[in-house]
Amino acid sequence: QPGYLIRDRDLDKIHKAASLGNVPKVQQILFFKENGVNDRDKKNRTALHLACASGHPAVVTLLVERKCQLNLCDNENRTALIKAVQCQEEKCIDILLERGADPNLVDVRGNTALHYAALCHNTSIAAKLLSHNASIEARNEDDLTPLLLAVIENKEQMVEFLIQKGANIHAVDTKKRYSTLFFKNKNLRAVLECHRWVIKMKEMALDSDWVNSQPSYLLGVCPWEECLLSRHLFLDLKREDNDVSFKGCCM
């Protein structure tokens, strides 16, 4: 489960108030110094962890204004940012990233926040992380990048998004398998091969002799990348050895 199992016996006052989104109570606890802003509960969670996992941006704002530490980790080595991503709490994510939370810290499984964004199939969150310098090629303990994880989980939209953002389409896992081999349907295979073909076409386009030899309709109707990525093309998908080839040109 992405969220926390919350039991009163594990919590101090500030953790309970944060998990409930009770801003006045958190303010009172801090004012009277009943708990510190970075105090941990029995599972090593801070109030920031619990507020993020429970989706309480007002509490998150209060805690960061009181100078809480943003990158502390719970028992699974997960930061508040990772928990916010797991629970898809975008307002909390925005606050943390704007205040400088590190998107590249890893949990006990080696996953970064971007791995969890890929797993949740949330391109909006992934875009926020990448805009704050999240590593698109980070590898977890299974040697999987966010792209490879999205491929394995059959997250087609996320695969397209990460490739468009520059993820390495030639990435391999520990068994040296190309990401194509993970694809579970022809659409995902086609997406990857589209991008590989775009790269090849762009390389060829730098060759003026090749460009001059092509019919004008291939060069001026629309950009190859836009055309390919909108899938306005004829595909001849071959099943042998997971190979995908192209038959025809842009429509």
Q: Where are the domains of the chain?
A: 1-77, 103-184, 187-250
Residue 42 in 3-state DSSP? coil
pLDDT at position 249 is 35
Report the C-alpha gap between 228 and 192 in whole angstroms. Answer: 11
Judged by average pLDDT, the poorest of 77-86, 104-113, 139-148, 175-184 is 175-184
Q: Would the pLDDT of 186 be above 50? A: yes
Mean pLDDT of the chain: 81
pLDDT at position 226 is 45
Q: Supply the CATH classification number for the domain 1-77.
A: 1.25.40.20
Averaged over 5-25, what is the pLDDT? Answer: 96
Q: What are the beta bridge partners of residue 246? A: 235
pLDDT at position 155 is 87
Kindly report whether the global pTM for this prediction surpasses the value 0.85. no
- CB-based contact 134:104 (threshold 8 Å): yes
User: Do the domains 1-77 and 103-184 sit in the same CATH topology, yes or no?
Assistant: yes
pLDDT at position 136 is 98
pLDDT at position 242 is 43
Q: Which of 170, 148, 171 is nearest to 159 (CA)?
A: 148
Which superfamily does CATH assign the domain made up of 103-184 to?
Ankyrin repeat-containing domain (1.25.40.20)
Report the C-alpha gap between 198 and 234 in whole angstroms. Answer: 14
Question: What own/partner pairs with CB < 8 Å and gap ≥ 24 does 17-20 have?
Answer: 17/47, 17/59, 18/47, 18/48, 18/50, 18/51, 18/54, 18/56, 18/59, 18/63, 19/50, 19/51, 19/53, 19/54, 19/56, 20/54, 20/56
Averaged over 113-120, what is the pLDDT? Answer: 97
In the chain, what percentage of residues exceed pLDDT 70? 68
